[in-house]
Structure 1
Amino acid sequence: MNWSDIGDALFGGAAHYGEILALVQNSVWAGLVLGLVGGLIGVFIMQRDMAFAVHGISELSFAGAAAALLFGFDVVTGSILGSLTAAALIGLLGARARDRNSIIGVLMPFGLGLGILFLSLYNGRSANRFSLLTGQIVSVQNAQLGWLIVLSAIVLVALLLIWRPLRFDSLDPQSAAARGVPTLAVSFGFMLLLGVIVAVAVHITGALLVLALLVTPAAAAMRVSTGPLAVPLLSAAFGVAAAVGGILLAIMGTLPVSPYITTISFLIYVVCRIVGARRDRTTRD
């Protein structure tokens, strides 16, 4: 093979990749939006110690999506209904951390079992069943993209509106209540927003790997910064890098998108943990 052949192969591969990228541009936009909003809301998930709740909500979101798939309804609507049901139950019954963890521990196996039951009764394409667990963003259609963007925008706007009281309640709930912050309303509202964004995330990473976009970016950001502005910005940047980077890598291969997203997210966390450890060691010295 001469240099001309190598050049033709490289440019031909680039052109082929460009054609594929044009076909999945909806997926890239969906990943960018979710990475941004997921990274921002993930800061409060970490501050409120609710990583376990994300997993619990995702299981009922999976059950709702599986039910919609079985009965021929819109899968996004089914996943949102499942997420909101779980979020409302956790928000109403789990005011204290101990109660919340107990409720989540009950909801998780119930939602997973119910979802598996619905999928076992579904006689359609096996790819549809698999995507609910591991994600299938490469098949996002225009209508689905519109819904995902609208839902993410609603969550983002609502999150910005309650940002100050939510941050106060997340860092010091006793003082927030004493200062007149409606902590119950703020907490319940946050749970509903979390339910919506979890439902959106399930369609990208799947129910089993949703933590990669809603928890890991924020956890990484908190390892390298403590600033009230720097942490959300870093978390959003990490979420976008993981989501969009995973999609761009996935279209070059044959693997589902979720392993790429979770790997990038994990590597970002490892790097941030190393950087944070070195900074702490330097500060002590």
Structure 2
Amino acid sequence: MVLFDFSDYGQLLPLVTNSLIAGALLALVGGLIGIFVMNRDMSFAVHGISELSFAGAAFALLAGVNVVFGSVIGSIAAALIIGALGAKAKERNSIVAVLMPAGLGLGILALALYEGRAANKFGLLTGQIVAVDDPQLAWLAGICLVVLITLALVWRPLNFASLDPDVAAARGVPTRTLSVVFMLLLGLAVAASVQVVGALLVLSLLVTPAAAALRLTASPVLAPMLSVVFAVTSVIGGILLALGAGLPISPYVTTISFLIYAVARVIERIKK
């Protein structure tokens, strides 16, 4: 069995141009958002949002409308529910635990009713390297632009509120408003990421690179930069390897992401 075949790479690369662009944009957003996800202890919430994002995308596929739009609606709904009802970590985890099976169940129901190509169903769960067409790329680019501009505007107060919410609130930082804004940004980032890596493995883009970066440095400048580099390496590397193997993108993205994290843990241990 041949795992990789790069003999016709020149003919195959044009097929994934949109996916490479989308992957780079999502890695940039995921690497930056991931730092706040880690600092705010919301890794589990990412998974919960991704399940409702998957449900929204699945129903959009069933209805024959834009899949990215359905994914965004599902993600934002989940983000608002978690943000409104889960002020404390314990409450938030309970809400996420309820949302995850509900979203997954609804999504599977929609896919069971969908009579189109099986690859479209499978791609929502595990990602597809040639699934990003021009309209979807435009949607994804727009989402990423909104997230990046908003992050730039609220970066400093959001970072303060994430690291020390009590002191930030005492200093007059609008922590509650920032929390809602961040949940909406997280919802958008998850919705966009689902289109490339799939709903089941979105953590590999929004959590693992940031977790690896924070193992190497606590610098508020260097950590986001490393997180973005790790995310870009995972996504672009995963797409290129998947192209040579003719398999779904997600196993490669997750494997590269995990290896980066494992190396970061080893370096952290050596430094100590």
| TM-score calculated relative to the size of structure 2 | 0.96
Structure 1 distance, partners of 2:116, 2:239, is: 26
Aligned to 1:245: 237
**TM-fit CA distance, 1:13:** 5.4
Q: Which amino acid is the alignment partner of residue 183 of structure 2?
A: M
3-state secondary structure, aligned to 1:181: coil
Larger radius of gyration: 1
Report whether the alignment pairs 1:61 with 2:53.
Answer: yes
The answer as to whether partners of 2:51 and 2:100 remain within 8 angstroms in 1 is yes
Over the residues paired in the alignment, what is the CA RMSD in angstroms? 1.1
1:145 aligns with 2:156: no
Asked if 2 retains the 8 angstrom alpha-carbon contact of 1:209 and 1:258, the reply is yes
**Which of 262, 266, 271 pairs up with 1:270?**
262
Match of 2:90 in 1: 98
2:184 to 187, 192, 197: 192
Runs of at least 4 residues of structure 1 off by over 3 A?
none
d(CA) in 1 for partners of 2:236 and 2:246? 17
Residue 110 in 1 paired to residue 91 in 2?
A: no
User: Structure 1 counterpart of 2:168, which letter?
Assistant: A
In the TM superposition, residue 23 of structure 1 has moved relative to its aligned partner by 2.3
> Offset of 1:137 from its aligned partner?
3.4
Q: Aligned partners of 2:41 and 2:15: how far apart in 1?
A: 39
Q: Does 1:156 align with 2:148?
A: yes
Deviation at 1:138, TM superposition (A): 1.8
Matching residue within 9, 25, 28 for 2:20:
28
Shift of 1:139: 2.1
Give, in whole Å, the separation in 2 of the partners of 1:194 and 1:55. 11
Contact map agreement 1:88 1:188 (CA 8 A) in 2: yes
Q: Return the alpha-carbon distance in structure 2 between the equivalents of residues 71 and 58 of structure 1.
A: 20
Checking the alignment, whether the CA contact within 8 Å between 2:209 and 2:230 is kept in structure 1 is yes
2:70 alignment counterpart: 78
2:207 match: 215
CA distance in 2, matches of 1:168, 1:274: 29
Alignment partner, residue 125 of structure 1: 117
Q: Distance in 2 between matches of 1:138 and 1:268?
A: 25
Q: Does 1:177 align with 2:172?
A: no
- Unaligned runs of at least 5 residues, structure 2: none
Instruction: Give the gaps of 5 or more residues in structure 1.
Output: 1-11, 281-285
Q: Which amino acid aligns with 1:69?
A: L
* Contact 1:133/1:208 (8 A) holds in 2: yes
Taking structure 1 as the reference length, what is the TM-score of the superposition? 0.92
C-alpha contact 2:6 2:244 (8 A) present in aligned 1: no
The alpha-carbon deviation at position 142 of structure 1 amounts to: 1.3
2:245 partner SS:
coil
- Deviation of 1:36 after TM superposition, in Å, equals 1.0
Q: What amino acid is aligned across from residue 202 of structure 1 in structure 2?
A: V
Q: Which residue of 2 aligns with 1:4?
A: none
Partner of 1:3: none
Distance (Å, rounded) in 1 between the aligned partners of 2:6 and 2:251: 23
Aligned length: 268
Alpha carbons 2:215, 2:264 under 8 Å: kept? yes
Who is 2:249 aligned against? 257
Does the Cα contact within 8 Å between 1:137 and 1:203 map onto a contact in 2?
Answer: no
